[in-house]
Amino acid sequence: MTALILASTSRYRAALLARLGLPFSCLPPAVDETARDGETPAALAVRLARAKAAAVATRQPGAWAIGSDQAAELDGHALGKPGTHEAAQAQLAAMSGREVLFHTAVCLSDGTRHLEAADLTRVRFRRLSGAEIERYVAAEQPLDCAGSFKCEGLGIALFEAIHSQDPTALVGLPLIPLCGLLREAGFQLP
């Protein structure tokens, strides 16, 4: 069986991939995630997903590597991972009562072939008070999440609506298109 490697150290992505029942390992991709000048959030997600998959695939000949990346977009600008409580609170305050776009890309690469897909998820945040934001950030510590929330946890309480073709995309790995890419690469799935 061909080896499958998740080019990520994200426990969220690993938990999603485990749902498919395929054996896999994880390796850090060691890719610079800095946006390029003028790069849209959608283009950033696609470029980084491909770069992550390619970086791991070239280190592991004969294996298929899965790279995925997500960029949150508000008013045409990418929102990164907050890193601090203050930055997370500021992001959530800026998104309060607004629609935010989440671009999630996935790439499956063997080092020469790159099979890619992307998902666009629209999240409508409800109006959030400063106290609600503070309680949420203290409770869930979403400092390593684009957009400062964990939709698979308490973060779901921050929303009015989610519109997407793949509910797993918002967590960081769109499984519906990934299944198609895996089938195209010869992996056996139901």
How do residues 126-173 score in pLDDT, each as one tens digit? 999 999 999 999 999 999 888 898 888 899 999 999 999 999 999 999
Which top CATH class is 4-184?
Answer: alpha beta
Greatest CA separation found in the chain? 52
Q: Kindly report, residue by residue over 64-79, the tens digit of the pLDDT.
A: 999 999 999 999 988 8
Q: What share of the chain is helix, strand, coil (3-state, %, to 5)?
A: 35, 25, 40
> Which residues have a Cβ under 8 Å from the Cβ of 171 and sit 6 or more positions away?
12, 13, 16, 151, 152
Beta bridge partners of residue 105, listed in sequence order: 69, 118
The mean per-residue pLDDT over the stretch 95-111 comes to 96
Q: Determine the pLDDT at residue 144.
A: 85
Q: How far is CA 87 from CA 103, 114, 118, 135, 179, in A?
A: 20, 35, 27, 14, 35
The span from the CA of 30 to the CA of 51, in Å, is 9
Going by pLDDT thresholds of 50, 70 and 90, the confidence category of residue 26 is very high
Cα–Cα distances (Å) from 97 to 63, 83, 100, 135, 160, in that order, read: 44, 23, 10, 17, 9
Query: Is pLDDT above 70 for 1?
Result: no
On whether the CB atoms of residues 133 and 76 are closer than 8 A, the answer is no
Cα separation, 5 vs 108, whole angstroms: 10
75 is catalytic: no
From the candidates 32, 37, 69, 166, which is the catalytic residue?
A: 69
